[in-house]
């Protein structure tokens, strides 16, 4: 039974749950591949991201022969829930098992709902991917660690919602991306950008406009093989403008990482702050201003600072 006391910023030791992280990453990719196959395209691939719920992650609505359909991860009671507007429901318990075993039950369950099949049942954005049906390597599931990771994302989601509030330019929802396994939100200035030649098609569509993106990343391996090995908050500007690495940001322990090409604020440093929520807001806002200033965005035009007065009038 998970701890029912709200702890917004619990301890999360990467080394202790790295194997579980890798397994859950594959499980989310499986569900994500179903969402990709059953959702129409939206700009910057926003249709593939999951949204947070009070208990976990949801695919959001998809099309099926049973009507509107969703798949939800419950990281409090540790279940995967399949639900359709026809009333058909199914549940897969989450426990220690191989990805191959999970995938076999998943395939049998989702077929009941009449959805388009996964087109490419192989994980993405990781080095040396193993097809889901053959993955007997990843099999760990630490319920407590998964619950703590989710609670960090839930707390981060609330901060990101406040961070996005004054921005009136184009912006993404707060989304969990199952490919890179991070919680992310992005602000755009309205100008197009040119992704690097030869970049994967998904990257070209995701980064075809100038943006400042930020969020939470548990430190797992990236597609390029880089591993931070620590949970961290991040912020990057695309394309990276000249001089951004020299900009002063807050809090003082946050810094530019030249290897990743982005600002990082380690989660353990946030936990040591007397007011973690304020510290995180400061990080997101100061790194946005660093990127937007260096990239010569019209910051005043992109923001609206009179929301409290509007809310008080309703």
User: Quick one: pLDDT at residue 307?
Assistant: 57
Give the single-character DSSP code of 240. P
For the cut 70, the answer to whether the pLDDT of residue 311 exceeds it is: no
* Overall average pLDDT of the 169-195 stretch: 95
**Which range has the worst mean pLDDT, 161-165, 174-178, 200-204, 230-234?**
200-204
CB pairs under 8 A, 24+ apart, for 118-121?
118/30, 118/33, 118/34, 118/36, 118/37, 119/33, 119/36, 119/37, 120/33, 121/30, 121/33
User: Quick one: pLDDT at residue 6?
Assistant: 81
pLDDT tens for residues 132-150? 999 999 999 999 999 999 9
pLDDT tens for residues 235-268? 999 999 999 999 999 999 999 999 999 999 999 9
Taking only Cα atoms into account, the Rg of the chain, rounded to an integer number of angstroms, comes to 20
Query: What are the structure tokens assigned to 190, written together?
Result: 């309205």
Taking the alpha carbons at both ends of the chain, their separation in whole angstroms is 42
User: Quick one: pLDDT at residue 279?
Assistant: 98
Secondary structure (3-state) at 218:
coil
**Which range has the worst mean pLDDT, 86-95, 189-198, 263-272, 298-307?**
298-307
- pLDDT classification of 196: cutoffs 50, 70, 90: confident
Under 8 Å between Cβ of 23 and 136:
no
**Which range has the worst mean pLDDT, 90-99, 218-227, 231-240?**
218-227
- pLDDT classification of 37: cutoffs 50, 70, 90: very high
Output the average pLDDT for the chain.
94
* Overall average pLDDT of the 265-278 stretch: 98
* Overall average pLDDT of the 73-101 stretch: 98
For residue 314, count CB atoms less than 10 angstroms from its CB and return exposed for 0-12, middle for 13-18, buried for 19 or more.
exposed
């Amino acid at each position: 039974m998970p701890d029912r006391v709200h702890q917004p910023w619990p301890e999360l030791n990467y080394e202790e749950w790295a194997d579980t992280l890798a397994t859950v990453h594959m499980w989310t990719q499986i569900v994500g591949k179903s969402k990709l196959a059953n959702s129409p395209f939206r700009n910057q691939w926003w249709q593939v991201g999951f949204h947070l719920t009070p208990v976990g992650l949801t695919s959001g609505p998809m099309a099926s022969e049973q009507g509107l359909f969703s798949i939800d991860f419950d990281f409090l009671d540790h279940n995967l829930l399949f639900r359709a507007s026809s009333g058909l429901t199914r549940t897969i318990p989450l426990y220690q098992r191989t990805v191959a075993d999970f995938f076999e039950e998943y395939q049998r369950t989702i077929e009941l709902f009449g959805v388009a099949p996964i087109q490419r049942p192989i994980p993405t954005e990781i080095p040396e991917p193993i097809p889901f049906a053959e993955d007997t390597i990843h099999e760990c599931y630490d319920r407590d660690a998964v619950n703590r990771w989710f609670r960090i994302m839930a707390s981060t989601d609330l901060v990101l919602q406040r961070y996005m509030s004054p921005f009136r330019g184009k912006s993404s929802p707060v989304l969990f991306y199952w490919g890179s396994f991070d919680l992310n939100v992005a602000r755009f200035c309205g100008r197009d950008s040119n992704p690097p030649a030869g970049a994967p098609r998904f990257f070209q569509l995701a980064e075809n406009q100038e943006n400042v993106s930020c969020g939470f990343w548990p430190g797992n391996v990236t597609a390029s093989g880089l591993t931070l090995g620590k949970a961290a908050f991040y912020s990057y500007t695309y394309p990276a403008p000249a001089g951004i690495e020299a900009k002063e940001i807050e809090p003082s322990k946050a810094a530019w990482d030249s290897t990743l090409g982005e600002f990082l604020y380690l989660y353990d440093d946030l936990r040591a702050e007397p007011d973690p929520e304020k510290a995180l807001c400061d990080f997101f806002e100061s790194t946005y201003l660093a990127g937007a200033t260096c990239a010569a965005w019209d910051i005043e035009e992109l923001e609206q600072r009179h929301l409290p007065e509007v809310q008080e009038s309703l």
